[in-house]
Structures are given as C-alpha cells and as structure tokens.
A and B are shown apart, each in its own frame.
Chain A
Amino acid sequence: MNFVPITERDQQAMLAAAGVDAFERLLSIPPGIPRAKWNLPKGLSEPELTGLLTGQAARNRTVRTEVSFLGAGATEHWIPSVVRYLFSRGEFLTAYTPYQPEASQGTLQAMYEFQSMICDLTGMAVANASLYEGASALAEAVVLALRATGRNRVAISRTVHPEYRQTLKTYLAGSEAALDLLPHRDGAVDPAAESKITDQTACLVLQLPNAFGCIEEWAALIRKAKAQGALVIVSADPIALSVVRPPAEIGADIVVGEGQALGTPLLYGGPYLGLFACREELLRRLPGRIVGRTRDANGRRGFVLTIQTREQHIRRSRATSNICTNEAMMALNAAVYLAALGKSGFRELGVQNLSKARYAHQTLTALPGVEPLFDRPFFNEFALSLPKDPEQVNAELLKRGFLGGLALKRWDPKLANGWLVCVTEARSKEQIDRFAEALREILR
C-alpha cells in the first residue's frame, strides 16, 4: 500500500517556501555544531569494542565519582531503593502512549495519584499527567496565559532560569507575543520593574526559588499583576514546596516546575519531568493528558483519560497544546518517590535541605574573601562571591574530587566572581567540611 501524505507537487511547494532544494537539506546539521567523533580503530571484535568503550565511559566525572555541589536546575537527591524497584516492575511497562488507556487501570491510577500529589504540593485544583520537562512546561503555561487573556505581552523576571527563558523565546518565535524582561537587583526582581506590568500583560512569570537560589518577596508584584488582569505563573522546585508556602496561597494561577528532583536521577539531562498545575477555571485550557476518577457500570471505582476534547487528536489545530504525550514513566517514578517518603518524610527532606545548605553557607562564608552574593532567604542553593575566578576554582576542586558550583558568569558576565552552590540532603556534614577545606586550600 502506498501511503502518500503529500503529493510531489505539494512537497516542491513546501521546499520552495522553506528555501531549500531537497528535503535532505532540512535534516543536515548546520556547520559549527560540534559532533561526536568516535575515533575507533578498525575491525574490533564485540568484546574488544565493549572493553574499550567501558574504559572510556569510566573516565566520565559524574555525581557517582565525585562529590557534587552543582545544581542550577538539575539537582542530586538521594533516591530510596524502593523507588527504582517499584517503578521498574513489569506491570507498569506500557506502550509509549496508551491508545486504549483504560485497559491499563494500574498505570492510570498511578497517574491520578501523581496528579493529586502535585495538587497537594502546589495548592492548585488540577494538575496534568506531566509534560516533557520544566522549561517547556513554563513555555506551555505562557501559551495558556496568552490564549486565556487574549493579550500578547509576557512579563518575565530575569531571575527565571536563563535556559527556561531561552526555551520560552523559541516557543514564541513567529507569534505576536513579546517578552518584557523584568530586571533584577540584589538577587530579586527590581521593585521598579512593576511598571512593566500593564493592562496588555498576559502573565507575570516568576521562579521559586529563583535561578540564584533566592526566595523573593513578590506580594506587591503579584498584586499589580492581578489588578491588571494578568495571570501569575510560578515555576517552582517541588522539593522546596516541602517547606515553602504553596504557590496557590501567594496568588499563583499556574504552577509549573521541573520534577526531576522527585526521584529521577540526573541522567545527563533527561528524560526529566514537566510539572503543570492550575486553578480550576483554567482546566479546559490545561495542556496535556488528564486522568480522572470515575465509576464503572457496576459502581466500582475506575480511572479514565478525561477532558480529551482539548487534545490534538480531537481538537486538531485548536488543541490547547501540541505536546501530545507525557513523561508517564518519570511521573510514575515521582509518585512512588513521594509516596515512599510520605508526608512527614517529605517535610523532613525539606528541613534537611534547608539546614545542610545553611551549614554550608556559614562554613563557606567563614573563609577569607568568600562573601554571600545576595542577602536573601534561600532553600538548598545560594550564590557566593569568590576572590578568585570561579572556573579556575572549579578546575582545582575537580582535581580534589569535587564538582564545584556554577560559575555565574555563564548566565551574566557582570557576575564574574559569582558562584552558585547547591547543597541537598544527599551531602553529609563531613563532605561539606571537606569541601570547605578544599576551597580554603585553593583560595590560599
């Protein structure tokens, strides 16, 4: 059977519009983007090849081989063994996207519980069954706000992770929407930036804790946004929500976030987990899948995919989003992780993050020349100013078995000596002390 989605002539017209002469041109990687080179000797047997590559892989410096104080959007947390055991059970293995989802009641129940937990954490009325990762979840929230308000300006704080802002820019390319960047001062949105929120603003976008680890005071800003009829979007670290007030209580309309911290290892950057929750009024605009609880013909509890008319397989071009799938496996993982910790365990986790980060902050700022970069409350990450180039310091730390903090000049050249340090419950007091000692030696 010949399946022809477009005719030859259609294809020629599309290629002409794209400005290329052959379809293959669209697939080639532009020059300037580095490409992996294997440099392998010819004619290796399988055992020889496996031996060679295993040896090379063992040279990677990761959180398994070094003690890490690096966060900046992806954080190392301890994952209880029960999480990996339960989530990898055969009963949960399923096709990439279930086309007869109700046949997999166990998977649907796990998604339903995941959604309920995300609602609990954020204080929101509804959550979806996840999106790809934190940055695209934030972009989807902005798209929702643009449609819901019919406006096309987005007020976003510069204290939102720069890579999230890049993703958002990519999402909005070609649309009429424009970004109004709210400048930061001393690690938080500059209060004077309030004037950028007008009756044309579709949404105000904030991050909790922000990209510098700071927990900001937003009351005035959020009041202004509400008064102008803009939606308030908060991108939150779910682990921080163990000790910080749920974003719903400070006026958030949509809460998104990176869910990697909820039981997913760092995995070289993915797959991660996009969290998305909102107020009930926005339910019909919520992107992605939603699992609902219902009763079957005999009155027994059951789970279904619901409100599917928003989705692209029904609503076509008018779908709320063209992300048609979710990160079901990572969401399952997060649900198991949260259930394994339990309510008091999760709270304890937050307290440990807080106290270890505070201890590290005290210990590190006691070193000569090491100063706090900002004077603001923080959760498990904080910015320091070093008397030496942070990149050089990191290179020295790596020699001593530590992954140092993020050199903030990568985000902002003005923060040349800025160093973003992350300390979670996975670090011990002894590791923090050794880290401080190593830093003292390097700065001497």
Chain B
Amino acid sequence: MADLEKLKYTKTHEWIRVEGNKGVVGITDHAQQEISDVVFVEVPALGKTVGAGEEAAVVESVKSAFSIYAPVAGKVARANEELAKNPGRVNAAPYAEGWIFELEGIDAGNLEGLMDLPQYEQFVQGKEA
C-alpha cells in the first residue's frame, strides 16, 4: 500500500507518485468505487509523449469507458501490461498493483496545479455534498 500522503491528485481522479523525474499514475479509490467493476484497460504505447491533461489511457468498467488523463506532461516509460489479464486490479488495489502507466521526463515544478491528499479529500467531499 502506497503512502497516500505522498501522492498528488487531479480533479479527474488520477493520482501520481513522483520520484525524481518519473511518476507512476493510477486512478483513486474514490474513482474505482464510482465506476465499479473494471473490465478492460487500454494502456498507452511505450514512448508516447503526452501533455498535461491529455488522454493517456482508457479504463472501461461495466458502466462505461473513462479517459485517464496524464496529470503532468511526460513520456510513457512503462505501462501495466498485467491489467490486460487482470483489469480487476484497478478495483482491488488502485494505489498498488492497479497502477496504469509511468511517465518519465517530467518536470517536478509542474506539480503545482495538483492537489495533495487533504485537498483531494475535500474536493471529493465537496462533490458529494
């Protein structure tokens, strides 16, 4: 289990764990609960460059298909190929085995616009209220 305090969050419910110029991206526990059972994940191609807020992956649940946006600009360094066989990992372990892709070449200075955990929790509560 990742330390949720160390993650950064987006308004579109992605999380990113930044280490140096790399960042692992997934969707939040709140997001996976909302979309319910994930049946398919389309991961980005390795080497693909994505801008902040650009669609990088697609998570498909029994309800619908959802675009997953890159929290920051970067180049796709790794993709979680395991999800092809076990898409349910996004539900079971959204912050661990359910990670979706990793970006490299990111600029840590660009994380300003993202939320920290208390901000994200408040954001989610605000939406539910």
Contact = CB atoms under 8 A, between A and B. Distances in A.
Given A284-B40, A284-B60, A314 B65 contact: yes
A309 B67 contact: no
B48 A150 contact: yes
Interface in B43-98: 45, 48, 58, 60-65, 67
Contacts of B40: 284, 309
A278 to B, nearest CB: 16
A318 B45 contact: no
Contacts of B63: 309
A315 interface: yes
B36 to A, nearest CB: 12
Nearest to B67: A318
B42 interface: yes
A158 interface: no
A interface, size bucket: under 10
A310 B65 contact: yes
A315 B45 contact: no
B85 to A, nearest CB: 13
Contacts of B67: 318
A314 B63 CA distance: 8
A284 B40 CA distance: 8
A315 B42 contact: no
A367 B15 CA distance: 77
Contacts of A314: 64-65
A288 to B, nearest CB: 16
Nearest to B42: A284
B48 A309 contact: no
A309 B64 contact: yes
Nearest to A281: B84
B65 A309 contact: yes
Contacts of B65: 309-310, 314-315, 318
B45 A150 contact: yes
Interface residues of B, number: 13
Contacts of B60: 284, 309
A-side binding surface: helix, strand, loop or mixed? helix
A157 B65 CA distance: 35
Nearest to B39: A309
Interface centre among A150, A284, A310 (most CB of B within 10 A): A284
A309 B65 CA distance: 6
Interface string A313-337: 0110010000000000000000000
Nearest to B64: A314
Contacts of A315: 64-65
Interface centre among A284, A309, A314, A315 (most CB of B within 10 A): A309
A43 to B, nearest CB: 59
B42 to A, nearest CB: 7
A318 B58 CA distance: 10
Interface string A145-163: 0000010000000000000
B56 to A, nearest CB: 12
Nearest to A284: B40
Interface string B31-43: 0000000011010
Interface centre among B40, B48, B62, B65 (most CB of A within 10 A): B65
Nearest to A314: B64
A314 B39 CA distance: 15
Interface in A121-164: 150
A406 B96 CA distance: 64
A284 B58 CA distance: 11
Contacts of A310: 65
B90 to A, nearest CB: 15
A199 to B, nearest CB: 13
Nearest to A150: B45
A316 to B, nearest CB: 9
Nearest to A317: B67
A284 B65 CA distance: 11
B100 to A, nearest CB: 16
13 contacts: A150-B45, A150-B48, A284-B42, A309-B40, A309-B60, A309-B61, A309-B63, A309-B64, A310-B65, A314-B64, A314-B65, A315-B64, A318-B58
The list of the 3 closest CB pairs from A to B, nearest first, reads A315-B65, A309-B65, A309-B60
Interface of B: 39-40, 42, 45, 48, 58, 60-65, 67
Interface of A: 150, 284, 309-310, 314-315, 318
Given A309-B61, A309-B65, 12 more contacts: A150-B48, A284-B60, A309-B39, A309-B40, A309-B60, A309-B63, A309-B64, A314-B64, A314-B65, A315-B64, A315-B65, A318-B58
